[in-house]
Amino acid sequence: MTEAAVPRRTIGDTDVFALTVGIVVGAGIFRTPAMVAGFAPDAATMIAAWVAGGLLSIVGALCYAEMAAAWPHMGGDYHFLGRAYGERLAFLYAWARLAVIQTGSLALLAFIVGDYLQVIVPLGPAGPAIWAGIAVLAVSAVNWLGIRWGAAAQRWLTLAEVGGLVAIIVAGFMVAPAGAAPAPASDGGAIGLMMVFVLLAYGGWSEAVYVSAEMKAPPRRIAPIMAGALALVTLLYVLMNLAALHALGFAGLASSEAVAAEVMRRALGDGGAAAISAAVAVAALTSANATAITGGRTAAALGRRFNALRWLGRWDMRRDTPGNALLAQGAVALALVVAGAFARDGFQLAVEYTAPVFWFFLLLVGVALFVLRQRFPEVERPFRAPLYPVLPAVFCATTAYLLWSSLAYTGWGAFAGVAVLGAGAVLLLFLKPDEEPCP
């Protein structure tokens, strides 16, 4: 394990595709359809919202792909922000990834795993937190063993995750169609909030850029891989909602507290509840594994730019993995799981803690595309975002709205996330980046 070692190109197209699909199709799709239907004026608008969410995500992926193709780097967003705004702002982002965004997401996903595994194998009152801790330890250990282990786990977990979603879709179309029922009352002004929940279910697609420096394929290949993965996710999400509409009806879908569980119960009886618990746990574990893979790489990139943190930047050439960074990330995520265990709702706390900081930096990365075009016009770009500047502007506008929504609708957990970000700004007063410019 050395500081000078750099990642090798060991990750194939299938692995990047599986990582993108796996991190997007998390547990959100099992929770959000009812919320979206509750804010939609009718079924057609609801389905249109899911299609629009997929298209907006693809727009964002194409913007990211331009930067990843021009500057493939294990730091991903951190590297783009450093080039666009300087190392100090980039440090705040990497700090936020390690202390808030990635570790918070890992804890959030671990709580979902814990909640559903507790249904299958109860471990007492503290069972969900115990299962969540086990999940964090498991994904951290698998990826510490090496990228081959992590990528193999991601392929199989993604296959199981998609298989579970397909099973729910098939079950929804197999049951007798629901009878007509009065549509729930909906305020047309809630369309924006409906899109917040839709885009929450599509979140995570940007993580693919963190393995851009390890792809075997040429840098330009990341664009079709990300777009293709999101096209598949969009198809699955639309089919999932159509199947739920068929089985439950629009009013039943909007009023359901557990859409997938209700669909499986109608198709398979009470045995469907255990099946859906396993499917949700696998989906969350799939996203958690992908989160661990990409988060460790940001921390390693940070360690290479600041001497005081160089232990984070050590890359294990034998296992092709940032071992120390993965250990640090796992430790912070475990601490958040422990904190969540004492909260009234660990899942909600993790969402509030993570969301505002995440959307703030995603907006800065979107703006960075414009900055980098102006600052480095001579840099070769194997892929360019189409319809520039229209599509990047759409992406930035969407992200700005989600940032505002995350601040408007979250609670005290959001203040904790912002406070930790502020602690990073204080820490930056005592740290100096290396003199070498960002490569």
Give, to the nearest 10 degrees, the angle between helix 191-201 and helix 43-70.
50
| Cβ proximity of 147 and 74 under 8 Å | no
pLDDT of residue 238: 96
Q: What is the pLDDT, as a whole number, of residue 382?
A: 93
Return the pLDDT at 439.
Answer: 44
At 377 the pLDDT is 94
What type of residue sits at position 56?
A: L
Spacing of C-alpha 159 from chain mean position: 17
The set of residues, in sequence order, having a beta carbon less than 8 Å from that of 92 and lying 6+ positions away, is: 421, 424, 425, 428
CA atoms of 100 and 288, how far apart (whole Å)? 15
* Residues linked to residue 316 through DSSP beta bridges, in sequence order: 321
The residue whose two tokens read 């422990």 is 338
pLDDT at 437: 43
Domains recognised in the chain with CATH numbers: 13-430 (1.20.1740.10)
- 3-state SS string over the chain? CECCCCCCCCECHHHHHHHHHHHHCCCHHHHHHHHHHHHCCCHHHHHHHHHHHHHHHHHHHHHHHHHHHHCCCCCCHHHHHHHHHCHHHHHHHHHHHHHHHHHHHHHHHHHHHHHHHHHHCCCCCCHHHHHHHHHHHHHHHHHHCCHHHHHHHHHHHHHHHHHHHHHHHHHHHHCCCCCCCCCCCCCHHHHHHHHHHHHHHCCCHHHHHHHHHHECCCHHHHHHHHHHHHHHHHHHHHHHHHHHHHHHHHHHHHHCCCHHHHHHHHHHCCHHHHHHHHHHHHHHHHHHHHHHHHHHHHHHHHHCCEHHHHHHHCEECCCCECHHHHHHHHHHHHHHHHHHHCCCCHHHHHHHHHHHHHHHHHHHHHHHHHHHHHHCCCCCCCCCCCCCCHHHHHHHHHHHHHHHHHHHHCCHHHHHHHHHHHHHHHHHCCCCECCCCCC
Q: In angstroms, how far is CA 234 from the centroid of its own chain?
A: 15
- CA torsion 417-38-200-117 (nearest 10°) is 80
Question: Largest Cα–Cα distance of the chain, in whole Å?
Answer: 69
Yes or no: say if 292 and 106 are a contact pair by the CB < 8 Å rule: yes
Q: Provide the 10 A C-beta neighbour count for residue 79.
A: 26
Q: Is the pTM of this model over 0.85?
A: no
Q: Splitting the chain (439 residues) into consecutive groups of 10 residues, what average pLDDT does each group show?
A: 66 90 82 84 91 94 94 89 90 86 82 81 85 92 88 87 89 77 53 78 87 87 95 95 91 80 80 76 86 85 81 84 88 85 60 77 94 94 94 93 76 73 85 58
Output the pLDDT for position 397: 93
Cβ 179 vs Cβ 36: under 8 Å: no
